[in-house]
Amino acid sequence: MCTAVRTFNFFYALMYGLLVWVYVWLVQMLWRVRPEAWLFLVFITVFELMLDFISMLGASTWQDVSASFLLNAIILIYCMLPGVKRAFGTAY
């Protein structure tokens, strides 16, 4: 019986740490209702939706990306509501 041995990779740890830092920053800025946080969230959500769509064009199925796709769609719809845009000062 062969078991896989996982090794520590400093680069992966650094990238996950950076990702946590970005999300902590985003939550803080959203809590303070800063327009740049709203814009960043919309940008990241659209980017994730594009990646999900491209994944579905490849070898992935709807079941593989459905949770991510639906969550990002809900976040984007919420961000585009007039009350949310007005609260962040991005409604024109």
Residue 2 pLDDT > 90: no
Q: What is the DSSP annotation of 19-47?
A: HHHHHHHHHHHHHTT-HHHHHHHHHHHHH
CA atoms of 7 and 56, how far apart (whole Å): 31
| 8 A C-beta contact, residue 52 and residue 68 | yes
Write down the pTM of the prediction.
0.77
The three-class DSSP label of residue 91 is coil
**Structural domain boundaries in the chain:** 10-87
- Per-residue pLDDT reduced to its tens digit, 28-84: 999 999 999 999 999 999 999 999 899 888 888 888 888 999 999 999 999 999 999
